[in-house]
Amino acid sequence: MPHRKPNVLGIVSFKVFPALMGGQKYIVDYYRALSKQTNVVLAVSKDNKEAVLTEKELNVLPFLFNHWYGFLNLIYCFKLVQIIKREKIDIIIIDHSYFGWLGILLRWLTGKKLVIKSANLEAFRFRDMGRWGWQVYEVYEKWVHQKADRNFFISDEERLYAIEHWSVNPTISYTVPYGITTEEPCAPLEKTESRNTILALHSLQANTKLFLFNGTLDYIPNEDALYIILNELVPRLNQSKISYRIFVCGVQIKPNWEVQLLACSTIIYTGFVENIQLYNQGTDCFISPITLGAGVKTKITDAIAACQMVIACKKSCEGLNQSMLSQQLIVIDDYNWDGFAKAMIQISVNETPKTPIAFYTSYNWANIVRESILYLPK
């Protein structure tokens, strides 16, 4: 007799709807794919209330305090226990370690199994952001992962770090990567049409090399990348005399960075782009001069899915299968800006690499979720 697939309660401590940023998409897209294979209930922070009206695929309950006031969720323990009983929940999944303590408490109250799903090791993200007390958070984060029944990490690197340095049990730790919904490479004609659309939108000549940087622009690793683009890469590219533009797309930019980007004649700052796929397909190369931060650079995964060339620092490539992507991913040593700029100069106009079919199989959300169900405790 086949095993019944488990009913899952996901608990999210911050705003993820609408899912615009990589971290938000990692959570929402995972649960959307999971809901196609088993029953999912999502208890989320109150700042996700709009999802009740807009979300068509998930049963979203936005009543929790966010992680800044997480301890106040003690008053919702009874409500969460009632949901677990009513929905016949088998597995509790906590996204990020912030509410790990709440998951441990709910497990004690209900006897249900607990999974911690980590988009990055938060302590080291806090360290890179210059936040005080990151060492204290590391002690807490380590404790949470040690107490979980299963641990899901976004990359092999972070999973192995937790096993080696935090003494997390390797037999209950798995990699659940950032996924994509794209199932096959786009056609070369589609890329050419996207490129021509961008050239027309911005009144650019056909021989202009088009580069893309996209992300959450007030995140410190991305702010550092803006500094690198403006002060390290642009001067080197200008010396080469090539015709180029760097598109900077994203949300939450600070005013001082916006002023600097708008003042640079070879940078086109677009702000948030509703159809980012146009720029992923139509630019010649995605650049990631990022040397800080934890986790996986989700925008690189999206760019590769759109059959785009990528130039990235070694730090940016953690969590990616570099051997699979050797024809498409150009890895530069961290802080080697001469090498980075040289690689940009050598990129061909209208280059159309073909992303390996194996990439779409490995990073497809349906396949990732199907495997993750097998990892869940019985």
The proportion of the chain whose per-residue pLDDT surpasses 70, expressed as a percent, equals 98
pLDDT range class, residue 1, cuts 50, 70, 90: very low
pLDDT for residue 43 is more than 70: yes
Sorted by sequence, the CB contacts under 8 Å of residue 336 that are 6+ apart come out as none
Count CA atoms closer than 13 A to 355's CA, side-chain side.
26
Alpha-carbon distance of 303 to 299, in angstroms, equals: 6
Residue 294: its pLDDT value, please?
61
pLDDT for residue 25 is more than 50: yes
Alpha-carbon distance of 271 to 230, in angstroms, equals: 17
Q: Are 152 and 121 in contact (CB under 8 A)?
A: no
pLDDT range class, residue 295, cuts 50, 70, 90: low
pLDDT digits (tens, 9 = 90+) for 141-175: 999 999 999 999 999 999 999 999 999 999 999 99
Residue 21: its pLDDT value, please?
87
DSSP result, 253-303 = --HHHHHHHHH-TTEEEEES-TTHHHHHHHSSEEEE-----SS--HHHHHH
Alpha-carbon distance of 221 to 313, in angstroms, equals: 12
CATH architecture of 8-179+364-375: 3-Layer(aba) Sandwich (3.40)
Strands (E) located in 91-217:
91-95, 113-118, 150-153, 173-175, 209-216
Residue 138: its pLDDT value, please?
97
pLDDT digits (tens, 9 = 90+) for 341-357: 999 999 998 777 889 99
Count CA atoms closer than 13 A to 89's CA, side-chain side.
27
Residue 3: its pLDDT value, please?
64
The single-letter DSSP state of residue 229 is I
pLDDT digits (tens, 9 = 90+) for 178-231: 999 998 998 889 999 999 999 999 999 999 999 999 998 988 889 999 999 999
Residue 125: its pLDDT value, please?
86
pLDDT for residue 321 is more than 90: no
Residue 354: its pLDDT value, please?
85
Q: Which residue spans of the chain are classified as CATH 3.40.50.2000?
A: 8-179+364-375, 188-360
Task: Write out the two tokens for 98.
Answer: 């912030």
DSSP result, 290-337 = ----SS--HHHHHHHHTT-EEEEEGGGGTTS-TTTTTTTEEEE-TT-H
Give the mean pLDDT of 57-77.
96
pLDDT for residue 308 is more than 60: yes
CATH superfamily ID and name for 188-360: Glycogen Phosphorylase B; (3.40.50.2000)
Q: Give the residue carrying structure tokens 């890895």.
A: 331
pLDDT for residue 248 is more than 90: yes
Percentages helix, strand, coil for the chain (3-state, rounded to 5) are 45, 20, 35
Other CB atoms within 10 A of residue 320 CB: 24
Among candidates 13, 291, 294, which has minimal Cα distance to 159? 294
In terms of DSSP H, where are the helices of 3-43? 22-35
Task: Write out the two tokens for 49.
Answer: 């209330």
Q: Are 289 and 322 in contact (CB under 8 A)?
A: no
Task: Please state, rounded to an integer, the average pLDDT across all residues of the chain.
Answer: 94
Residue 283: its pLDDT value, please?
96
Encoded amino acid at 267, one letter: I
pLDDT range class, residue 241, cuts 50, 70, 90: confident
Give the mean pLDDT of 367-371.
96
Query: How far from 350 is each of 96, 212, 299, CA to CA, in Å?
Result: 39, 13, 20
Give the mean pLDDT of 96-120.
97
Among candidates 113, 60, 119, 123, which has minimal Cα distance to 95? 119
pLDDT for residue 51 is more than 90: yes
